Amino acid sequence: MGKKVITEKDVMMIPQNGSLRIEGDYLLTPAAKDIIHSRGVRIEEITDVAEDLLFDTSVEEEYDIFPENSSRIVISIFGVDNPGVIASFSQALAEENISIHDVSQRILGKLFTLFMVVNLGERAKEYASIKKKLISLAGELKVKIYIQHESIFQYMHRI
């Protein structure tokens, strides 16, 4: 049996300061997690597997351990379209000597999305500090960023 994905639609039905009881294997979308935090919703139960796969822009030490068999990460960036966003992230990665393997950008009116697959290479052991730097840059540029190990991204998006 597959994992149930909890979306923002599901979470919007929970009253302010209410609680969400999760049983079994579930995943929360980033938008659902944002709504949970902003509305003060409590999560009463969460399985170990689902908890490990939640992704967040905050730097939590328990999620900053990089798998030894992979050095690639997926970076997803969302926000209002402004000049220089791609350049800023590309420059930050270049300063860290990190290779960009693939990049995709879409602009929808005033909004944009940017997806990058990057290889940390020998810098994989410095994942936590690199992640903090990218999150800080996202804050300066007023965009939302999600950073995941490639293996987690692939696992979460398989059918």
Which residue has 């992230």 as its token pair? 89
Compute how many other C-beta atoms are within 10 angstroms of the C-beta atom of residue 58: 7
| 84: pLDDT strictly greater than 80 | yes
Q: What is the pLDDT of residue 6?
A: 80
Q: Is the pLDDT of residue 81 over 50?
A: yes
Which domains, and CATH codes, for the chain?
4-53 (no CATH), 61-156 (3.30.70.260)
> How are the residues of the chain apportioned to helix, strand and coil, as percentages rounded to the nearest 5?
40, 30, 30
pLDDT in tens, 119-138: 988 887 888 889 999 999 99
Residue 57 in this model has a pLDDT that exceeds 70: no
125 burial type by CB count under 10 A (0-12 exposed, 13-18 middle, 19+ buried):
exposed
% residues pLDDT > 90 (the chain): 26
Judge contact between 117 and 89, C-beta under 8 A.
no
pTM of full prediction above 0.85: no
Burial 110-124 (b: 16+ CB within 10 A, else e): eebbbbbbbbbeebb
- Mean pLDDT lowest among 15-19, 69-73, 111-115, 155-159: 155-159
pLDDT tens per residue, range 106-123? 988 888 899 999 998 888
Mean pLDDT check: name the lowest of 61-70, 97-106, 115-124: 61-70
